[in-house]
Structure 1
Amino acid sequence: MNPNVILTCAVTGAGDTPQRNSAVPVTPEQIARSAIEAAKAGASIAHIHVRDPDTGGVSHDSAHFREVVERVRAADTDIVLNLTAGGGGDLFPQLTGGELRAGPGSDLQTPAERHAPVGELLPEICTLDCGSLNFGDMVYLNSADWLREQAALVRDAGVKPELECFDTGHVRFARQLIEEGLIDDEPLFQLCLGIPWGAEADTQTMLTMRDRLPANAHWAAFGIGRMQMPMVAQAVLLGGHVRVGLEDNLYLSKGVKADNAGLVEKAAGIVEALGARVMTPAETRARLGLRTPGGKL
């Protein structure tokens, strides 16, 4: 069991969830406020996507990331910032008249474009998704060469990558990045469970992925939807850290819609009921060897 747990709150994500739960933050001000509320509820890390303030849809605009980061850093409540760098990989293949093309909803970026907000704002952590996936009806694209390029950009910026793994092959490729020297220091893994059609959100799958991590790895895991809280308990018991938040789950209990602070409070209660404790942001930085906010390592 892990007695000292890092608790991440994934604040908003990129799905069409604002239409299903009005607590999902959309504007930079709302996202920053929700991250601060999660910190006050006990979160160690805030995982940040941004949205188009007018439509609520996906955005990669560095200006929106900057506003969120500046608002959070200016607050009197500390939290580690983890910016997504995994956007711009969405492909909806469309075959029309025998011609294959990217269909409506596709959103593709180069590694440099994905990295731009990270390189500009220098968060303590950013995500690095470690492979492609049939993500529901969409294909999420991450070629090996593109991931190598992106990993080098993250390394050279001095930001710690969170290696997001949606299936066992992603863990294998992440180990390859480490062997090639593209990941510095002790690696940080996030095991992403329950997303169709990736790794399942169950004990055996989490254990299988955990057992394939490098010996010096830090790791966390999360489940989506109703499996969010069961995977919190399971990750702690298997020695890992945890993640909750409205990116992954919209409900506090059956039929009761959540907000981020409520999900953090519930997860912290599970951690404490198991005899563990949630680490502070300062303790998290020390444990993971993170830079100071906005600065160098």
Structure 2
Amino acid sequence: MNFDVFVTCAVTGAGDTADKHPDLPVTPAQIADAAIEAARAGAAIAHIHVRDPRTGKAARDVALYREVVERVRASDTDVVLNLTAGMGGDVIFGQGERPLPLDPAGTDIIGPLERLAHVEELRPEICTIDCGTMNFAAGDYVMTNTPSMLRTMAARVQDLGVRPELEVFDTGHLVFVKQLIKEGLLDDPVMIQLCMGIPYGAPDDPLTFMSMVHQIPENAVFSGFSIGRHQLPFVAMAALAGGNVRVGLEDNIYLDRGVLASNGQLVERAVTILKAMGARILTPADVRAKLKLVKH
């Protein structure tokens, strides 16, 4: 059991959820407000994606990130910002016997340094790196992160003094994390996020989760979450396993059955669960000390 837990709130994500939740944060102002709301509810870290304000679809425009970051930093609420670097690795193959050319409507594949353009400019304390390629949900979509791409990203993030949160969706991704450590591309403490229940990565049953926990590198700090209805049960699961927790509308839009949530409500529920288990909720200052973060 981890009795000193930090909560991350993933406030909007990149999925097609804008039409499923009328109050999903979409504009930079809404995303910044959601991060502040989550922090006031007890989240130490806000995990940030941005969306096209006109369509609600996932975006990677540096200007959108800039507005979110500036709004949060100008507020009177302290929170550690964790910007995704996962955008720009989307490949959608053509269907059936014609996998090429790639589907231009959904494919968005760019170089690894371009994927870090917003991190380079804005210097958040944390950014995510997805640690492997994966068949992500249905159809012909592949989340693409080759070993050379990931090495390039890890090296640049290390140079910038930004702490990478290594998003691990399956057991092989942990193998690659250990390889990056061996190559000196990750500084201590290594920060890992176990992402459970995403098709077609590691399922979110307890045995699979604990098998991955047992493969966490020594001295690494980890969090764990699941998507959908298992998000809140995984608050307890992650803490019992010795880790930290993540909630938020990126991974689950409901507070209770049929009841849409806000980010603040999900964080409040997580805090209630953790405190009932006897855990102390870490502040942003605690997390900075624990993870040796650098404020730029």
Cα gap change, 1:199 to 1:98, in 2 (>3 Å): closer
1:195 aligned counterpart, secondary structure: coil
* Contact in 2 for aligned 1:163/1:174 (Cα 8 Å): yes
Residue type at the aligned position of 2:120: G
* Contact in 2 for aligned 1:12/1:50 (Cα 8 Å): yes
| 1:189 paired residue number | 192
User: Matched residue pairs, number?
Assistant: 293
| 1:106 paired residue number | 107
| 2:137 paired residue number | 136
* Contact in 2 for aligned 1:95/1:101 (Cα 8 Å): no
Would you say 1:227 and 2:206 are equivalent positions? Answer: no
Distance in 2 separating the partners of 1:174 and 1:26: 32
Residue type at the aligned position of 2:116: H
Cα gap change, 1:149 to 1:21, in 2 (>3 Å): same
Q: Percent identity, aligned pairs only? A: 57
Q: How far did 1:213 drift?
A: 1.2
| 1:51 paired residue number | 51
* Contact in 1 for aligned 2:136/2:199 (Cα 8 Å): yes
| 1:68 paired residue number | 68
Runs of 4+ aligned structure 1 residues displaced above 2 Å come to 95-99
Distance in 2 separating the partners of 1:5 and 1:99: 45
Distance in 1 separating the partners of 2:13 and 2:234: 19
* Contact in 1 for aligned 2:188/2:220 (Cα 8 Å): no
After TM superposition, list the pairs within 5 Å mapping 1:154-173 onto structure 2: 154-173=157-176
Q: How far did 1:89 drift?
A: 1.2
* Contact in 1 for aligned 2:38/2:263 (Cα 8 Å): yes
- What is the CA deviation profile of residues 100-129 of structure 1, one whole-angstrom value per residue up to 9, with x for unaligned ones? 122131221210111110011000000011
Q: How far did 1:97 drift?
A: 7.1
TM-score of the superposed pair, with normalisation by structure 1: 0.97
Distance in 1 separating the partners of 2:34 and 2:288: 21
Distance in 2 separating the partners of 1:109 and 1:20: 29
Q: How far did 1:185 drift?
A: 1.6
- Any unmatched runs of 5+ in structure 2? none
1:264 aligned counterpart, secondary structure: helix
Task: Pick the aligned partner of 1:176 from 175, 179, 183.
Answer: 179
After TM superposition, list the pairs within 5 Å mapping 1:183-262 onto structure 2: 183-262=186-265
Name the stretch that deviates more: 199-208 or 97-106: 97-106
- Any unmatched runs of 5+ in structure 1? none
Distance in 2 separating the partners of 1:12 and 1:65: 13
Cα gap change, 1:264 to 1:101, in 2 (>3 Å): same
* Contact in 1 for aligned 2:37/2:263 (Cα 8 Å): yes
1:184 aligned counterpart, secondary structure: coil
Q: How far did 1:98 drift?
A: 4.0
1:12 aligned counterpart, secondary structure: coil
Cα gap change, 1:141 to 1:275, in 2 (>3 Å): same
| 1:290 paired residue number | 293
| 2:84 paired residue number | 84
2:101 aligned counterpart, secondary structure: strand
Q: How far did 1:99 drift?
A: 5.8
Task: Pick the aligned partner of 1:148 from 133, 136, 151.
Answer: 151
* Contact in 2 for aligned 1:202/1:231 (Cα 8 Å): no
- What is the CA deviation profile of residues 209-257 of structure 1, one whole-angstrom value per residue up to 9, with x for unaligned ones? 1111111100000000001011110000010000000000000010000
| 1:12 paired residue number | 12
Cα gap change, 1:97 to 1:193, in 2 (>3 Å): closer
Q: How far did 1:96 drift?
A: 7.2
Q: How far did 1:88 drift?
A: 1.1
Cα gap change, 1:276 to 1:96, in 2 (>3 Å): closer
Q: How far did 1:95 drift?
A: 4.1
